[in-house]
Copies of this chain bind each other. A is one copy, B any other.
Amino acid sequence: MPDSVKDSPLYSLINPRSIVFFGASNRFSSMGTNQLSSVLDFGFAGKIYPVHPSEKTVLGLKAYRRVLDLAEIPDLAILVLPTNIVSGILQQCGQKGIRQAIIVSGGFKEVNRRGVRLEQELIQTARKYGMRFLGPNCLGIANAHHKLNTTFLPHQGVPGFVGMASQSGSYITQMFDYLSRSGLGFSTAVSVGNEADIDIVECMQYLARCPHTKVICLYIESIRNGRRFLDAARNITPHKPVVAYYVGGSEPGRRASLSHTGALSGPDRLYDGVFKQCGIIRADSIEEMFDFCSVLGRVRPPKGNKVVIQTHSGGPGATAADACGREGLRVPAMPKTIAAKLAPFVPPTGSTGNPVDITFSKDPLEYFSKIPDCLLAGDSYDMLLIYVLTSARLFRRHMADMGIAEDEMKEMANRFVDGICDSIQMQGTTNQKPIIGFSFHARQEYIIKALHKRNIPVLPDPKRAARAAAALWKYAVWRKRL
Interface residues of A, Cβ cutoff 8 Å to B: 28-29, 31, 83, 106-107, 110-111, 137, 152, 154, 166-171, 174-175, 177-178, 181, 219, 221, 245, 247-257, 259-261, 284-287, 309, 312-319, 321-326, 330-331, 333, 348-349, 351, 353-355, 357, 359-360, 362, 389, 397-398, 401-402, 440-442, 460-464
A-B contact pairs, 21 of them (CB 8 A): A83-B349, A168-B313, A168-B315, A169-B315, A170-B312, A170-B316, A171-B316, A174-B316, A177-B442, A247-B322, A248-B318, A249-B322, A249-B326, A250-B321, A252-B321, A252-B330, A253-B325, A256-B318, A256-B355, A260-B314, A285-B323
- Given the contacts A107-B348, A170-B316, A255 and B401 also touching, CB distance less than 8 Å: no
Cα–Cα, bound, A321→B265 (Å): 14
CB-based contact B321/A253 at 8 Å: yes
When A and B form their complex, which 10 residue pairs have the shortest distance between CB atoms, in order from nearest?
A: A168-B315, A253-B322, A250-B325, A260-B314, A106-B349, A170-B313, A252-B331, A285-B463, A256-B318, A252-B325
CB-based contact B318/A286 at 8 Å: no
CB-based contact A348/B316 at 8 Å: no
Residue of B nearest to A394 (CB): B153
Contacts of A261 in B (CB 8 A): 314
Most buried by B among A152, A316, A362: A316
How far in angstroms is the closest Cβ of chain B from A306? Answer: 11
Residue of B nearest to A27 (CB): B401
- Given the contacts A28-B398, A248-B318, A333-B255, A440 and B360 also touching, CB distance less than 8 Å: no
Cα–Cα, bound, A93→B250 (Å): 62
For A321, give its contact among B110, B174, B255, B312 (CB under 8 Å): B255
CB-based contact B348/A318 at 8 Å: no
- Given the contacts A325-B253, A389-B174, A260 and B106 also touching, CB distance less than 8 Å: no
Residue of B nearest to A387 (CB): B170
CB-based contact A252/B324 at 8 Å: yes
Contacts of A251 in B (CB 8 A): 325
Cα–Cα, bound, A119→B442 (Å): 38
CB-based contact A464/B287 at 8 Å: yes
Cα–Cα, bound, A219→B313 (Å): 14
Cα–Cα, bound, A465→B295 (Å): 24
- Given the contacts A170-B315, A318-B260, A175 and B440 also touching, CB distance less than 8 Å: yes
- Given the contacts A170-B313, A326-B249, A256 and B286 also touching, CB distance less than 8 Å: no
For A462, give its contact among B175, B286, B326 (CB under 8 Å): B286
Cα–Cα, bound, A169→B357 (Å): 13
Cα–Cα, bound, A318→B174 (Å): 15
Residue of B nearest to A320 (CB): B256
Contacts of A154 in B (CB 8 A): 397
Residue of B nearest to A263 (CB): B318
Known: A174-B440, A251-B325, A257-B322. 20 other contacts (CB 8 A): A168-B316, A168-B318, A170-B315, A177-B442, A245-B319, A249-B326, A250-B323, A250-B326, A252-B325, A252-B331, A253-B318, A255-B321, A255-B333, A256-B309, A256-B321, A259-B353, A259-B355, A260-B351, A261-B314, A286-B463
CB-based contact A284/B318 at 8 Å: no
Cα–Cα, bound, A137→B166 (Å): 50
- Given the contacts A253-B318, A287-B461, A360-B152, A440 and B178 also touching, CB distance less than 8 Å: yes
- Given the contacts A111-B349, A253-B325, A398-B28, A319 and B359 also touching, CB distance less than 8 Å: no
Contacts of A357 in B (CB 8 A): 259-260
